[in-house]
Structure 1
């Protein structure tokens, strides 16, 4: 990884790997189109497919849908010094990418109480953050990191501190990581993406030099007891579109680079009947082809209250997710994964830039 705060996209930045591809997304030694992957893991030829797995176990989900997840989402507290932990290290060793959300909460205490952004700015957690940074740096492969996801959500916005304090805390954390040599940390700014929250985004934006990927959620929550007013189902496309269009059309006015890669950080649907549930997932790859900045998608394979988004909860959800996961657009060439996974062996420190 090159030092410095500004990193390019696959289109504009240095490519780590260039493959010549034939049909169906397989690398071949024949003429075709080039597939590049940037130093921040943005692919030009498709989308990474991932999950935040139920009970933190990725294997049952992978077995159920017949494929390995490219990215696994994990959740940690700002007070945890041992990040990445054993689980994250094992996932990396097995060839998966990891995306860790560092919550503004004390995970070392019962109930995971929240902490205010002011305490972060005072340096109360610098020791644990620097330890985290050194742990990430030791991996020598790209590692997705988010600080306090969904800061625009009603239950969080202006609760742990002001938007301005969130921005300052984000930048403080990124700067600490960089000071400790964690140039392989790929910073993912995550918000809800809900239409009613879009006017909050400008005040929460940390700046292009402190963000690599932009991320939001794409849910259908009809029938969920936590959202009694959500009566009509929305499709995956209807869920992702408002934030996508806002970033592309309004983002530049607020200093947000619309060319940054997009990650759908969480997505899923409640049960909306056999065929509609299956189709909700099955249509995702075709939708993604129409939104070219989206380069990664993760399912939230979990439940809260009676809001059940587990892929395995209904056979129709599992069938639709499995069908989507076999689409070539969300199956990047194995050579890309192998290149990144073997980076430590091929370079003493960090990822080499290829000509």
Structure 2
């Protein structure tokens, strides 16, 4: 058991779980394949997949990763962690590992941790529809004695119902079954985002049931229903795409469900040919949208008290610039200190993302620079030494 100095918070790591006691704490969230990969059905987005393997409750938990090795985990200063999983010093480091490879989540994470030469703080998995989560494999990942991993669970409640229908109770039975499953099997804290990147699913036409306001009502209803069912350990995350074109739509502000049902705000930005630095990633602007200040700036003004997460971020391969990933990862390390509201970075690692290869280690220089970034003290202070 680790007691974090200066706080009434206790992190019990007996089985690699994060059991948070908050006495005296001030302050205070696609079709699946075996690796948690999104399906091609959602290829219009950077990725909108379900990380569930489709395995039922009785499935085995293969490939649970062990420690990457004694040299992989740098020393970490003890930090306070709030009831909403906000680290007081540094930021969480996470990964959605080897997406679109078909590998089981435990094996994919094990390989990714070895490739980046450090353990992940956050494991990003995807679910859709009536899948129950966390699965046995996901629970094993969270509870690995050497892992101390948090789950970021990305759930799209339905592909067959409109947001308006869900908000009016069409899936209440499904939500209640999920709540009972979580209460019964997983008391640990975890991040939960609901129908992430909703912007390009918005249909403002009357009667479609898919307006921005419908999304906000759906998100609120799902969270409220889960809480009513006893799920008090979900830290909720509102995840935007992070793109200027959608953020400039007149309905954009209506997407937000409300402070009482959102603990973190997140974006999913990707490094395309127009992005050359970390600031260009988190503050994307376009000449055709002159009033848009960039996502991080907007979040700082709109949600000054909310922690910010990069729930997905990735760098696409540039075959004409083989050294680009190396230089970009170096820019993240140089600039990350200028963005104190960012409290979690979760890399999307895939050889076959819809717009390219986001693996961080396609070149020796890229792998080296990514490893240096991953081991930066500002991204290692969040988790106390075991």
- Sort the TM-score into its range (normalised by shorter chain): 0.7 to 0.9
Shift of 1:313: 3.5
Pair 1:283 & 2:297 matched: no
Aligned-partner Cα distance in 2 for 1:300–1:291: 20
- Which residue in the other structure is 1:109 paired with? none
- Match of 1:237? 279
Name which of 133, 138, 141 aligns with 2:188. 141
1:79: how far off? 1.9
- Which whole-Å CA distance do the structure 2 matches of 1:294 and 1:209 have between them? 20
TM-score in terms of structure 2 length: 0.69
Matches within 5 A, 1:51-62: 51-54=95-98, 55=101, 56=105, 57-62=108-113
TM-fit CA distance, 1:319: 2.3
Structure 1 segments (4+ residues) deviating >4 Å: none
Match of 2:210 among 158, 161, 166: 161
Instruction: Report whether the alignment pairs 1:42 with 2:89.
Output: no
Normalising to structure 1: TM-score of the pair? 0.75
1:221 to 259, 269, 272: 272
5+ residue gaps in structure 2? 1-8, 10-21, 29-73, 284-293
State the shift of 1:141 in Å: 1.6
Q: Does the CA-based 8 Å contact 1:136-1:185 persist in structure 2?
A: no
Alignment of 1:113-132 (within 5 A): 113-132=159-178
Q: Which has the higher strand share?
A: 1
Q: Deviations over 1:33-55 (max 9, x none)?
A: xx321001101100100011114
Q: What corresponds to 2:135 in structure 1?
A: 85
Find the counterpart in structure 2 of residue 110 from structure 1.
none
Aligned to 1:295: 343
Contact map agreement 1:136 1:143 (CA 8 A) in 2: no
The answer as to 2:253 corresponding to 1:202 is yes
Task: Give the match for residue 232 of structure 2.
Answer: 183
RMSD of aligned Cα (Å)? 2.5
Which structure shows the higher helix fraction?
Answer: 1
Q: What whole-Å deviation, never above 9, does each CA across 1:310-342 have from its counterpart, x for those lacking one?
A: 224443332221111111111125527x5xxxx
Q: Does 1:172 align with 2:186?
A: no
Range moving further from structure 2, 314-323 or 257-266: 314-323
